[in-house]
Structure 1
Amino acid sequence: MSAIFNFQSLLIVILLLTCSCAYIQSLAPSLLDRNKIGLLGIFWKCAGIGE
């Protein structure tokens, strides 16, 4: 069963994405700051939530 159909796994994937983006932004802020708009802006928003 994939993580999309299992609610607990989906929550874990979202939490890992948020924490990973926040960690990447703490190490290299320019990497996520240049992609605020568009599809890659999702990672910038996750980093903001993770902080």
Structure 2
Amino acid sequence: MSAIFNFQSLLVVVLLFICTCAYIRALYPSILDKNKDGWLGLFWKAARIGERLSPYVSGACILMGVSLLVYRG
């Protein structure tokens, strides 16, 4: 089943996208900072969400990991 049609899988994809963009910006900030507009600006915005809301994003990742272990395991 596609991640678009399963809400839990969609949340996992969004969380992984935010965490990956924040990690890439921490390592190589120039890559994401030069593309703030347009389609590539989505990566910059996800990195900003990951940086500014990092306690909430990490809590959501932990909760999602536990729910995946409990409900799919």
TM range (shorter): over 0.9
Shift, 1:32, TM fit: 0.1
Partner of 1:13: 13
One-letter code aligned to 1:4: I
Report SS of the residue matched to 1:12: helix
Q: What RMSD, in angstroms, separates the aligned Cα atoms of the two structures? A: 0.3
One-letter code aligned to 2:27: L
Runs of 4+ in 1 over 6 A off after TM superposition: none
CA distance in 1, matches of 2:26, 2:14: 18
CA distance in 2, matches of 1:7, 1:41: 25
One-letter code aligned to 2:43: F
CA distance in 1, matches of 2:49, 2:13: 15
Aligned length: 51
Unaligned runs of 5+ in 1: none
Higher relative contact order (CA 8 A, sep 6+): 1
Identity of matched residues, %: 71
Partner of 1:30: 30
Unaligned runs of 5+ in 2: 52-73
Partner of 1:41: 41
